[in-house]
Structure 1
Amino acid sequence: MQPDISVKHLNKTYAGGFQALKDINLEIRRGEIFALLGPNGAGKTTLISIICGIVNKTSGEVKAAGHDIVSEYREARASIGLVPQELNTDSFETVWDTVSFSRGLFGKPPKPEHIEKVLRDLSLWDKRNNRIMSLSGGMKRRVMIAKALSHEPRILFLDEPTAGVDVELRRDMWEMVRGLRANGVTIILTTHYIEEAEEMADRIGVIRQGQIILVEDKDQLMAKLGKKELRLLLQQPLEAIPGELVLEPIELSEDGYELIYTFDSQQQQAGVARLLRQLGDLGIEYRDLQTRESSLEEIFVGLVHE
Structure 2
Amino acid sequence: MFLQGTYAYVANNPVMRFDVDGRWFNEDGTINTSGRTPNFTTGKQYRDSFLGVNKNDGGGGGISQELLDRMLALGGDWYNAGYGFESSDHIALGYNGSYLSLNTLIDGFIDIPEVVLTGSSSGWGSQIFGHVKSFMDNWYSPGGKLNWFVSSAATALENTAGSFRITNGDYNGSSFSPKYYQSAWTGGSRARITTYNISKIGGFVGKASFGAAVVMDGVGVYNYYRNPDSNNKIHPAKFGVNTAIGLYSLKINPAAGIIYFGIDAFYPGGWTGDEKHPGAIKDIDRRQAEFDAIFKNSDMPRQYIFPYGSQKF
Determine which structure has the larger helix proportion and give its number: 2
TM score, norm. by length of structure 1: 0.28
Determine which structure has the larger strand proportion and give its number: 1
Q: Which has the higher contact order (CA 8 A, sep 6+)?
A: 1
Between structure 1 and structure 2, the one with the greater Rg is 2
TM score, norm. by length of structure 2: 0.28
